[in-house]
Amino acid sequence: MKSFLNSSLFFAVVLALLITSCKDKEHHHNNEVYSEIPSPVTFSPNIPVDVDPLLQEKLKKEKNIYKLNEAFNEYSWQALVAINWPRDEQGNAMPNFTDKGEATWLGWKEAFQVYRKDGLAPSSWGSPRTASGLGISKEILSATDARLLLLSTTPTAKRDQNIADEVDQAFAGKLFDQNGNVVVYEVLMNKEEYDYIVDKKLYNINGQLAYTKKNPEADFPAGNYENNELGAIEIKFAWKILEDTDYKERYFTDEGYIVDEETNELVKKDLGMIGFHISQKTPTGKQWVWSTFEHVDNLRENQIEKDGKTVRIPPSLRNAECEICPANVDVTHNSRYEFKTDKHGNFWEVTTRGAQIEGTSPPKYKDSTKARYYANSNVMKTQAHRMVNIPSRVQRINERMQTYFRQQNSVWQYYELIDTQYPLNQNVPSPPHDDDNYVLPTSVTDKSGGDTNIALLTNITMETFFQKGNQSASNLMENNPTSDITIYGTESCIGCHSSAGIYNSYTNGKLGSGEQLSGDFSWLLGRAQWDSSKPKPTE
């Protein structure tokens, strides 16, 4: 009996010590208690140049592509953190990711600063944002702590500011959130990409025409892994206008100027980031590596504990209360829309203008088509729906990252990686894409060449209207060859960007662009304007 008591006392003491020790590592969030975990990967202010090439080769030889995908997804999270790492006023990295400071990307160049509206040379790297060719006041341009998102749907001079598609998605129209606000976008580039563009004078059409006389394709720097030298990087953000009803503490926030559609004046709004896209040219990825993130509240309903109550957070890009609202409908691209109602219910009537009749001046168009889409509100809202689920392997990595950021009380706990797309062998050539030679599946799944690791990758905030599902194979091949074969598809970051071209001709007053791959996966080259200080070349 005495021995049992001594043992019980011993275990009680040990248990008390364990509890005390655990309490030091406990974290509390929404009344949950969990133990501190170490960083799932090594985070630093240094953007990773690539996934270790030796590790890549090892996993490829083992045919362990699952593990290789996991390595690239960890790389994507490392890049996200490094690009957002806080810096002091001198541009030096702060000791910790959770320290206060300006995100690293705030020192990068916005696309409209490089591909200026007037076609003039961009200002030097690190210089204040004081010139753009857009006719915007220096007071607003110099407000480098605010985003400049030039939104306009009216045919006025300010419409010309929208040179970087801050409103319209790629080859599509506008995305509306559940408050009825338009989602806005911006693109920035790192110094490595900026230096290449300036050195080759690719920032205007004149420079591109001169460049392509000797070089048929652009060739952005890929970096060097052994020397820790970065290659070109482009990042694209999707911003939601924040209202008082939004949970602003769940967003990476900033202020931004947009054009008020009623007054046509620039006004400042609170913005919340809902999409984050990274494209990086790497030593093992001449097709670039594509990492895309979204906010967790975009499509699914979440809940929090607030003041002792469970509070529902509805999706910001989807109305969960309207199960029959049509999904991924583009109502603004070459269309006009009007809310109507009849005995059958409420709907949006969308009128899409037909193609321009060749040779007409002023232009005339073929007959318009009308479509009706059921609606439960007279406020235009996009019913976004993801057609390809986030893979379980990515969900597991997201859970690790989110748990870590939650204990750091970091806003990045509310973001998730959708996936990472990259070439398994960058030297595999692009397959054929014409009527006689295309072969499925590779003419779709590896449109760019490089033996892409996954066929489909989209960001719901940036490629909403590509979420079509079953469609003709021709829609997802270069040159759109005639095909009567139906496939399932959304879009591919690598595949879509492989179509980007560089200006290479000017004949009879018309500009021509190079073939697929000539733009080295950067659509920004197509944003170049004529140098306004020089006359256009003779025909």
- Whether residues 117 and 160 share a domain: the answer is yes
What mean pLDDT value characterizes the chain? 87
Q: How confident is the model at residue 94 (pLDDT cuts 50, 70, 90)?
A: very high
- Whether residues 122 and 217 share a domain: the answer is yes
Rounded CA gap, 91 and 103, in Å? 10
- Whether residues 282 and 424 share a domain: the answer is yes
- What is the pLDDT at residue 40? 92
The bridge status of strand 32-35 relative to strand 26-29 is antiparallel
Phi, psi torsion values for 533, nearest 5 degrees: -90, -5
- What is the pLDDT at residue 135? 66
Kindly tell me if the per-residue pLDDT of 137 is higher than 80. Answer: no
- Whether residues 339 and 466 share a domain: the answer is no
- Whether residues 132 and 227 share a domain: the answer is yes
Rounded CA gap, 9 and 129, in Å? 70
- Whether residues 231 and 374 share a domain: the answer is no
Q: Which long-range contacts (CB under 8 A, 24 or more apart) does 137-142 make?
A: 140/257, 140/266
Answer with the one of 367, 385, 403 that is the final residue of a domain. Answer: 385
Whether residue 59 is contained in a domain is answered as no
Whether residue 54 is contained in a domain is answered as no
Please tell me which residue, 97 or 264, carries the higher pLDDT value. 97
Kindly tell me if the per-residue pLDDT of 415 is higher than 90. Answer: yes
pLDDT digits (tens, 9 = 90+) for 29-76: 444 444 578 889 999 999 999 999 999 999 999 999 999 999 999 999
Whether residue 81 is contained in a domain is answered as no
- Whether residues 1 and 130 share a domain: the answer is no
Whether residue 45 is contained in a domain is answered as no
- Whether residues 400 and 422 share a domain: the answer is yes
Whether residue 534 is contained in a domain is answered as no
- Whether residues 286 and 240 share a domain: the answer is yes
Answer with the one of 385, 405, 422 that is the final residue of a domain. Answer: 385
pLDDT digits (tens, 9 = 90+) for 339-357: 999 999 999 999 988 888 8
pTM over 0.75: yes
- What is the pLDDT at residue 3? 42
- What is the pLDDT at residue 539? 57
Whether residue 258 is contained in a domain is answered as yes
Strands (DSSP E) along 212-366, which ranges?
233-241, 253-259, 266-282, 285-295, 302-306, 309-313, 335-342, 345-352
Q: How many CB atoms lie within 10 A of CB 140?
A: 13
- Whether residues 134 and 246 share a domain: the answer is yes
- Whether residues 428 and 495 share a domain: the answer is yes
% of the chain beyond a pLDDT of 70? 86
- How many independent structural domains does the chain possess? 3
Kindly tell me if the per-residue pLDDT of 148 is higher than 80. Answer: no
Phi, psi torsion values for 206, nearest 5 degrees: -55, -45
- What is the pLDDT at residue 270? 93
Q: Which domain holds residue 6?
A: 1-36
The bridge status of strand 335-342 relative to strand 345-352 is antiparallel
CA diameter of the chain: 107
- What is the pLDDT at residue 333? 82
